Structure 1
Amino acid sequence: MQGLSIKPSTKLQLSSLLVAVATVMLVLLAGVAHGGGRRLVVSSSEDEPCKKMTVYYHDILYNGNNTGNATAAARTNGTFGLLVVFDNLVTEEQALSSELVARAQGFYFYDKEEDNAWFAFSLVFNSTAYRGTLNLIGPDLIAEKTRDLSVVGGTGDFFMARGVATLRTDSFEGLYYFRLQMDIKLYECYV
């Protein structure tokens, strides 16, 4: 039996065909990875975000007696501060009993010396209005009237979103409950 030999011109054609097929596959995969046909919308002005909303974040810290309604719990109480893990309610209006629009799931650290916090969490939306997540991260300088957290990504209706969430303390009841008004403005959206 003789070995199979391929002519140089056929090798070139085969290589070109493989490159073409690989290119088409990469383009198709890139389309899926970038939202399956969605197009990127980038705001041209700070005053005109591509998507905006106002929601209310409710934090009910476990105090030893409120197991039934606590949504956050201190996991450490170390030398330098406090780590709190949470699965908080996010509502459309100020009242805790108003329509649930998302869950805020993540953690924050309190700095023991300065009473500031640092947040890292996802807003998990599962409603008729929105599905998906928004990922937020940054410092919460509690003494400031407003504070900004970075929106660093998202999934679903918020695929790869970028923007800012401006926080304002809306209510504070002792050590175990606070409510934040969150004005979220997205400046990069896939639609």
Structure 2
Amino acid sequence: MTLYFHDILYDYSNSTSNSTSAAATKPTALATAVSPNGTFFGEVVVFDDPMTAGRALPPPSRRETAAVVARVQGVYLYDSKEVYDAWFAFSVVFNSTARRGTLNLMGADVMSEKTRDISVVGGTGDFFMSRGVATLRTDAVEGLVYFRLQMDIKLYECYV
């Protein structure tokens, strides 16, 4: 299945009603000492992002409609001193008549790569004990506030 993950980072200048993620920590002192280009090393971001079947993101007032097929809830942290990379741990939460349950994913997001794979390490409900791979592609970026990832999810094990 192909889904789109929309992350809108709150940065004090944008709307709190539209934001879907926020930094839970600031970059470490080490990040500013060794990273003149700002890799955000050590920063942790918590998110509750909408996931859609298409690229379009509905406005906040319409995000509970059929356009949003799941919520993506978890954390990412910037884990490199030299380059802008992250590590993800999150659940894709499905709650509709089509699908119910969660997919749990984790892994390195080497952002300089065109595509990168992270592991599907489990699931619940319709995705009970799932295993597989999600291939990530950066689909859109707007400054440091918004990004959209295309996720191609391939399940190899699923007991339903």
Q: TM-score interval w.r.t. the shorter chain?
A: 0.7 to 0.9
Match of residue 71 from structure 1? 20
74-83 or 55-64, larger mean C-alpha shift: 74-83
RMSD: 1.1
Match of residue 38 from structure 2? none
**Runs of 4 or more above 3 Å deviation:** none
CA–CA separation in structure 2 for the residues paired with 1:115 and 1:124: 27
Match of residue 102 from structure 2? 133
CA–CA separation in structure 1 for the residues paired with 2:105 and 2:79: 19
Gap runs ≥5 in structure 1? 1-52
Gap runs ≥5 in structure 2? 29-40, 59-65
Counterpart contact for 1:169–1:181, Cα < 8 Å: yes
Counterpart contact for 2:80–2:86, Cα < 8 Å: no
Amino acid of the structure 1 residue aligned with 2:127: F
CA–CA separation in structure 2 for the residues paired with 1:146 and 1:127: 29
| SS class of match (2:127) | coil
Deviation (angstroms), 1:81: 2.2
TM-score normalised per structure 1: 0.71
Would you say how many aligned residue pairs link Structure 1 and Structure 2? 139
Q: Whose helix fraction is larger, Structure 1's or Structure 2's? A: 1
70-79 or 110-119, larger mean C-alpha shift: 110-119
Within 5 Å, which residues of 2 pair with 1:70-89?
A: 70-79=19-28, 80-89=41-50
Amino acid of the structure 1 residue aligned with 2:110: L
Q: Percent identity?
A: 69
Counterpart contact for 1:73–1:84, Cα < 8 Å: yes
Counterpart contact for 1:82–1:112, Cα < 8 Å: no
CA–CA separation in structure 1 for the residues paired with 2:93 and 2:127: 10
